[in-house]
Amino acid sequence: MLVVVAVLAYWLGSSGGNGERAAPSPSATPTPSATLATAEVFKRAGPSVVVIQAGKSLGTGVIAAEDGTILTAYHVVRGTKGKDAEDVRVTFADGTKAKAVVVSSNPKRDVAALKPAKLPEIVVPATLGGAVAVGAPVVAIGNPLGLTYSVSTGVVSGLNRTTEEGDRDLGGLIQFDASVNPGSSGGPLLDARGLVIGIVVSIADPGGDEAFAGIAFAVPIGLALGGDEGDGPPGPGI
């Protein structure tokens, strides 16, 4: 009898006396969700996206550093006669407008970095990612056809792709099927955690009409930041 009473007392004490198992204490460092809804990805990355106007060329960029450095596609800010465009203007997510200069460019990767003359009161750099897997969900943010801050979703369709136009090619690309069009170039390709995994640079354009056909390409962020060099100039841009 004493044994039974002791066991019963222990059971009631450990369960709070209601016959149910006590809830575990919350973790001091909660594990972040592996994926975010598309709206949450946009909320996280949207403030880092900028509109770029270089002469008649419209494109997109993404703030990649605390000092406001912007990554974009080189063909967005490519001028004439092999020189960088001189009249480059950017508009930040909060509406701040500024002139910008091309501080570095890599035509072989179709990427460029811009330094704005003026920054918003609050600079929100994007968080850069890394590994990419075929079939993984992606989100593209850009300004297709002048429709600023458009969001589209898709998946990674392939890796290490090459685009070709005549004797020109651009390799090592991420292929994806989120909708992008002229004006999307230079924008971020994001994974389901809101991390930048690539810079959008081109579309497959079998009809030659500069319209999205379900296949788009991005330079992996590691290469955009100065990784392994490519062997040729950029393929067809958007």
Which helix (H) or strand (E) segment holds residue 39: the answer is helix 38-45
Which of the residues 48, 57, 110, 202 is marked catalytic?
Answer: 110
75 flagged as catalytic: yes
Which of the residues 48, 152, 157, 185 is marked catalytic?
Answer: 185
Contacts made by residues 209-216, CB under 8 angstroms, sequence distance 24+: 210/181, 210/182, 210/238, 211/181, 212/179, 212/180, 212/181, 214/177, 215/157, 215/175, 215/177, 216/140, 216/175, 216/176, 216/177, 216/178, 216/179, 216/180, 216/184
209 flagged as catalytic: no
**CA-to-CA distance for 151 and 174, rounded, in angstroms?**
18
From the number of C-beta atoms within 10 Å of its C-beta (0-12, 13-18, 19+), residue 3 rates as exposed
What values do phi and psi take at 149, rounded to 5? 55, 45
27 flagged as catalytic: no
Which of the residues 48, 75, 157, 177 is marked catalytic?
Answer: 75
Nearest CA-CA partner of 192 in 63, 62, 41? 41
| Active site members | 75, 110, 185
